[in-house]
Structure 1
Amino acid sequence: MAITAPGNNDQPHRVLLVSVPRTASNLLLKILNIRSQPNVLTNPKCGYFFYDAFMSASKDGRIDKPLDQWPAEAKSETKAIMQECFDKLEDYSTRARAENKIMFAKEHAFWFQNPYFFTNRDAETPENMKEFRVSIPERYGSSQTFSANNKTIMPDEYLRTWHLAFIIRHPALAWPSMYRAMQKLSKAGFIDDDGMRGASVTNMSMEWTRKLFDWCLEQPDESVTPLVIDANDVIHNPGAVVKFCEKAGLDAASMQFEWNDSEKRSENWATANVDPGNPEELALHKTAASIMLSTLEESTGVVKDKAPASVDIDAEVAKWRVEFGDEAAEMLEKATRDSMPDYEYLKANRVTV
């Protein structure tokens, strides 16, 4: 019998964890012990199928430009890569179905949004946004609809076949952490200054997370409630993580809160993204991955000082001015305050014990 989401229809159980950078999502996966879950299939990166799509959409400052300013070849390239990313996700899903396993993937919310909405946040659904929508297999049916809160490249009918879960973190902690990491990536030569600013600003939002969460609540006959977990609970509230694990249909007995292993996810990330025959690019990606995963890979358990009990935004802004300078601090402050309504809304719906 196929594994199905608790209380769901006969669709195979698939869990999509929607994150944004620096929300302790890799720590959550480590605690859930995803790669050692007895009945779970995932890829070497535990997701990030749409990484290449985001990188393509980020080229040459495209993120900040309306679609009508994109060169035709840029649109074609990004569309093709988005389809490739989706097809790889479906390949794993097909394999999970054949092996009677739960398919698990983690994706940053911004990475699989339709590029049209990068600069047209509140627009109606125009004709020209259709070019980025992916083609889905016939088994999902002939109907393909995109309701108001579905700003992704995948139709409602497809998204409904996944159990969506979300991880959030206080913006005053997540966004400076992201900017700090982007600075290190820039110094390492992984991205240039424009790329650092673009990647920082575009990812410093919980807008896409909230839209997808609200989309879940609006679905007809939806019996699987979308899950939300806060990074603060991941670090300080083990019971909430256990409850999240069980509600996602995963094996709580496989969880771990301490570890002493030699696994280097940065190695998996780099080799999964780069041709091993390109040693220079491989080394660059290994450096980038080690920057993004440094805290986790240097730890043997949960590092509790990464999540203070309370956050004073004004006090944090003062620290940012010293660390990053006035211009970056102002950018971080705006991103933080703009994100707070979405964060507080999602936090109110998080898993609690």
Structure 2
Amino acid sequence: MATSSPDQLPRRLFLVSTPRTASNLLVRVLNIQNQPEVVTNEKSGYFFFEPYTVATAKGYFSKPVSQWEPDQKAEYQTLLQQAFDNLEAHGDRAQNEQGKRILWTKEHAFWFANPAAEFDGTSDTAQDRPFSLTMPGYSADATFSKHNNTLFSDKYLSTWKFSFLIRHPALAWPSMYRALQGLSEIGMMGEQQAGAMKAAQLANMTYKWTRSLYEWCSEHQAPGANKPLILDAHDIILDPGVVLKFCEETGLDKSVLQFEWESQPTGEFWHENRGYVKDAANLMTATLRGSKGVMKDKAPLEIDIAKEAEKWKAEFGRETGEKLEVVVRKTMDDYEFLRERRMKMTD
């Protein structure tokens, strides 16, 4: 694989999201697949979807990396490297294909986080960095500064313009639990897979990965063209002007934006996937596929966590509802930190 040298790279746009933050809606509004200068894949990102889902289905994330078997580490390492190579191959296209100048990806924050950080925290020791990607042009003198809890070196991260998508935890986390519960209830996953998914969802019900990378960007990326951007799903739904401003900041074409579309209540979201992975993708995108445009009722003006918690207890049972309330409240500090720094029309 030919790899672009750091000083010859196209514009590289990396959207960091978490499940149920309306990231697929944002991609639909931005019309990424029809952006004239953009190179991406069929999923508009999610290059690291397979390593995450394979490791999740096999229960790897339910225990510290130090407890993984050698073959489990080797499998995950191989899948990560394949994902990275695929992403960089698209980067080569963005550099060499006529009329293209932007590489785009969207990834959930935990999917490219160093999994050792989930249980043990991180440092620059080999034990805390158990997975080492071969990154031509970026591997020499690789460093991992404070707040870099990713699999990528500081040098590699610096090649990207990062944007971050957030949504109020009282909307995102129950929605995540509801979707995963649906997979189990209609038989898309066996009992073992369902248990593994529930364990892994806790790693995603947090903004700590988003916040740490945002802080890294704020400390290491130069102001101006590479400054990190934060979008709140609430603003995307209620204020189209925020999306227009996002295009101005990133170089995306505003003329192809779409706020209405034909519904696709049936059919597959990612055609190449099979089994429960495909079913999970389709279930998670069911609302978007069935819609005909941005649904403003998905962004309530007021959110009372205590009142919402009573609804969760009624829907999921008291024990689960109480656990969701704890997770939501625990996440609020990071959410408010990020929300205060989000892109606004008054900026």
Does the TM-score normalized on the shorter chain lie above 0.5?
yes
Q: How much has 1:256 moved relative to structure 2?
A: 1.1
Could you tell me the TM-score, scaled by structure 1's length? 0.89
Given the alignment, which residue of 186, 189, 212 partners 2:187? Answer: 189
What is the rounded CA distance, in whole Å, between the counterparts of 2:63 and 2:53 in structure 1? Answer: 15
What is the rounded CA distance, in whole Å, between the counterparts of 1:190 and 1:156 in structure 2? Answer: 39
Query: 1:241-252 alignment to 2 at 5 Å?
Result: 241-252=243-254
CA distances 1:239-288 after superposition (whole Å, capped 9, x unpaired): 11110121111011111111126698x635241x34xxxxxx3xx44432
Q: How much has 1:114 moved relative to structure 2?
A: 1.1
Could you tell me the TM-score, scaled by structure 2's length? 0.91
Q: CA RMSD in A?
A: 2.0
Asked if 1:310 corresponds to 2:302, the answer is yes
What is the rounded CA distance, in whole Å, between the counterparts of 1:143 and 1:131 in structure 2? Answer: 17
What is the rounded CA distance, in whole Å, between the counterparts of 1:18 and 1:127 in structure 2? Answer: 26
Count, aligned residues: 334
CA distances 1:69-106 after superposition (whole Å, capped 9, x unpaired): 11111111111111111111111111111113211110
What is the rounded CA distance, in whole Å, between the counterparts of 1:185 and 1:134 in structure 2? Answer: 32
What is the rounded CA distance, in whole Å, between the counterparts of 2:53 and 2:39 in structure 1? Answer: 25
- 1:79 maps to what in 2? 77
- 2:281 maps to what in 1? 289
Contact 1:270–1:289 (CA<8 Å) still a contact in 2?
no
Secondary structure of the 2:52 match is: helix
- 1:255 maps to what in 2? 257
Identity %: 45
Query: 1:103-252 alignment to 2 at 5 Å?
Result: 103-121=103-121, 123-138=122-137, 140=138, 142-191=140-189, 192-219=193-220, 221-223=222-224, 224-252=226-254
Asked if 1:325 corresponds to 2:309, the answer is no
CA distances 1:23-52 after superposition (whole Å, capped 9, x unpaired): 011111111111111111110000100011
Secondary structure of the 2:150 match is: coil
Q: How much has 1:222 moved relative to structure 2?
A: 4.7
What is the rounded CA distance, in whole Å, between the counterparts of 2:161 and 2:221 in structure 1? Answer: 14
- 2:3 maps to what in 1? none
What is the rounded CA distance, in whole Å, between the counterparts of 1:220 and 1:289 in structure 2? Answer: 33
What is the rounded CA distance, in whole Å, between the counterparts of 1:181 and 1:197 in structure 2? Answer: 11
Compared with structure 1, are the counterparts of its residues 190 and 85 closer, same or farther at alpha carbon in structure 2 (3 Å cutoff)? farther
What is the rounded CA distance, in whole Å, between the counterparts of 2:279 and 2:51 in structure 1? Answer: 21
Q: How much has 1:126 moved relative to structure 2?
A: 2.8
Structure 2, unaligned stretches of length 5 or more?
1-5
Contact 1:53–1:112 (CA<8 Å) still a contact in 2?
no
Compared with structure 1, are the counterparts of its residues 59 and 298 closer, same or farther at alpha carbon in structure 2 (3 Å cutoff)? closer
Q: How much has 1:9 moved relative to structure 2?
A: 7.2
Secondary structure of the 2:231 match is: strand
Secondary structure of the 1:218 match is: helix
What is the rounded CA distance, in whole Å, between the counterparts of 2:175 and 2:269 in structure 1? Answer: 22
What is the rounded CA distance, in whole Å, between the counterparts of 2:181 and 2:210 in structure 1? Answer: 25
What is the rounded CA distance, in whole Å, between the counterparts of 1:90 and 1:62 in structure 2? Answer: 26
Given the alignment, which residue of 312, 317, 336 partners 2:328? Answer: 336
Q: How much has 1:141 moved relative to structure 2?
A: 6.4
Q: How much has 1:125 moved relative to structure 2?
A: 3.2
Compared with structure 1, are the counterparts of its residues 263 and 17 closer, same or farther at alpha carbon in structure 2 (3 Å cutoff)? farther
Secondary structure of the 1:146 match is: coil
Higher mean alpha-carbon deviation, 321-330 vs 219-228, is at 219-228
Which residue type is aligned with residue 335 of structure 1?
Answer: V
Which residue type is aligned with residue 324 of structure 2?
Answer: L
Q: How much has 1:315 moved relative to structure 2?
A: 0.3
